[in-house]
Amino acid sequence: MKIHLLSGFLGSGKTTAIQNAANTLLQQGIKTGVITNDQGIRLVDGDLFKNLNIPNRQVINGCFCCNYNDLDNAIQSLIEANDTEIIFAESVGSCTDIVATVLKPLLQFRPNTQVTVSTFTDVRLLQIILNSNTNSFDETVNYIYLKQLEDAGIIVINKIDLISNEVLSAIKKLMQEKYGNKILLYQNSFNESSIKHWLYTLKHYQSAAILQSLNIDYDIYAEGEARLAWFDQELEIYSSSNNALQQAEELINTIYKKITAHQYATGHLKFLINGVTKISFTSNMQPPVIIEKEPGASAALLINIRVQTEPQKITQLITEAINETETQSGCKIIQQSLSAFKPGYPKPTHRI
Ligand SMILES: Nc1nc2c(ncn2[C@@H]2O[C@H](COP(=O)(O)OP(=O)(O)OP(=O)(O)O)[C@@H](O)[C@H]2O)c(=O)[nH]1
Ligand SMILES: [Mg+2]
């Protein structure tokens, strides 16, 4: 039995890599399962896997480390229900200290299990942070980012398809200097051979037991977590003109435009339309989204947002975006659920 833990900053591509890796393994007949995890209650990544027909469980309301028993129950449940041989477990993108609080407890309490940890990074943000160029995140958030890298056995430098060969060569040099003692993978998570190379590395990884627990200041970590507000909401859009998907697109773009106008540093804005179409924004510089539109009287929209501001400000911004979309397009938007908060002080169940 193998458990592959994924950590790494918000929007770095963990879910994308898991989806493609799980499909590759399932096609080979290997019983594979996925555990997603985030702050909040209604989670885009969790719903996505439900609809992809990949065996999955969720740990909600906070990170694996603070909900270790829920993680363990999810592992057990996948094993019992599906005879699962390989589990990918994706931790919250603002979480760190995984080696001490998740990997080592798993090795101790599940001694017959092999465990790996891969830390994902978006190569574009990595380049900014390594070059100490200013970015819009608070220094406590950047502290978490760097601790995630330090904590890794394997660092996956992801989205290399989005940079030039020159930039890639410079990053490789820097990473070798700073993290040359770790396994460094340069990946495009949409590319089959990239994913197969990551899977090969995970299969042959033997060094989990010698990974060192981090030396980390939990006060700074807690402050970084709290700087990034969490917001999740479920909406139903009703369209008298049979254009619900068009109106979902309008609402998504209005929310994104408002977040950009406020210059809130974006961790990740995720939207799931009708349980199947995932839309992601991971920076303040993306073009508006265009979705494939079929006529429809209603559409379900699940929103997950992690940006650097106060939760009430996000709630207010979403309310304004909903009102504007209703007025401009004549649709009716019903709010089914809402949860908005600052994540609390991390209190791991175990720390070894
Ligand atoms: N171009 C490119 N885009 C990628 C790659 N991997 C992921 N993405 C995109 O990056 C965005 C975020 O991807 P996710 O897989 O949701 O990221 P995540 O790390 O799971 O995000 P959180 O769960 O919020 O922490 C999505 O728009 C993906 O399509 C990649 O290798 N190349
Ligand atoms: Mg994810």
pLDDT in tens, 120-162: 999 999 999 988 877 889 999 999 999 999 999 999 999 999 9
Looking at ligand 1, which residue's alpha carbon is closest to its atom 14?
Answer: 13
Which ligand gives the minimal distance to the CA of 9? 1
Residue of the nearest CA to atom 1 in ligand 1? 159
φ, ψ for residue 330 (rounded to 5)? 75, 15
Which ligand 1 atom lies nearest to the CA of residue 267? 24
Whole-number pLDDT of residue 89: 98
135 and 233 assigned to the same domain: no
Last residue of a domain, one of 155, 186, 216: 216
Mutate which of 12, 164, 271 for ligand 1? The one with the most ligand atoms within 8 Å of its CB, which is 12
Query: Are 283 and 167 contained in the same domain?
Result: no
Give the closest residue (by CA) to ligand 1 atom 32.
Answer: 159
Q: Which ligand is nearest to the CA of 125?
A: 1
Which atom, in ligand 1's list, is nearest to the CA of 188? 31
**271 part of a folded domain:** yes
- Do 211 and 234 have their domain in common? no
Ligand 1 pocket list (CB less than 6 A): 10-16, 45, 93, 120, 158-159, 161-162, 188-190, 268, 280, 282
Say if pTM beats, i.e. exceeds, 0.85.
Answer: yes
Task: Answer yes or no: do 245 and 278 share one domain.
Answer: yes
Ligand nearest to the CA of 305: 1
Residues of the chain with pLDDT under 50: none
Domain limits at 8?
Answer: 2-216
- pLDDT of the residue at 53: 87
CATH code, domain carrying 47:
3.40.50.300
Domain boundary among the residues 192, 216, 240 is at 216
> Residue 181, Cβ neighbours under 10 Å: how many?
6
Q: Which of 181, 216, 251 is the last residue of a domain?
A: 216
Say how many Å lie between the CA of residue 14 and the centre of ligand 2.
5
pLDDT score of 131: 87
Rounded Cα–Cα distance for residues 247 and 293 (Å): 10
Tell me how far CA of residue 216 lies from CA of 97, 119, 212, in angstroms: 8, 17, 12
Mutate which of 280, 289, 307 for ligand 1 pocket (most atoms within 8 A of beta carbon): 280
Q: 272 and 141 in one domain?
A: no
Q: Looking at the domain assignment, is residue 194 inside a domain?
A: yes
- What does residue 94 show for φ and ψ, rounded to 5 degrees? -105, 15
Do residues 66 and 200 share a domain? yes
Sign of the alpha-carbon torsion through 91, 95, 99, 104? negative
Q: What is the pLDDT of residue 86?
A: 98
User: How many domains in the chain?
Assistant: 2
265 and 333 in a single domain? The answer is yes
125 and 38 together in one domain: yes
Ligand nearest to the CA of 198: 1
Q: Give the pLDDT of residue 132.
A: 80
Q: Whose CA is nearest to atom 29 of ligand 1?
A: 16
Spatial contact of 98 and 64, defined as CB atoms under 8 Å apart: yes
Task: Report the C-alpha gap between 59 and 103 in whole angstroms.
Answer: 16
Which residue has its alpha carbon closest to ligand 1 atom 21? 11
* Residue to probe by mutation, ligand 1, list 12, 15, 16, most atoms within 8 Å of CB: 16
Domain of 314: which CATH number? 3.30.70.360
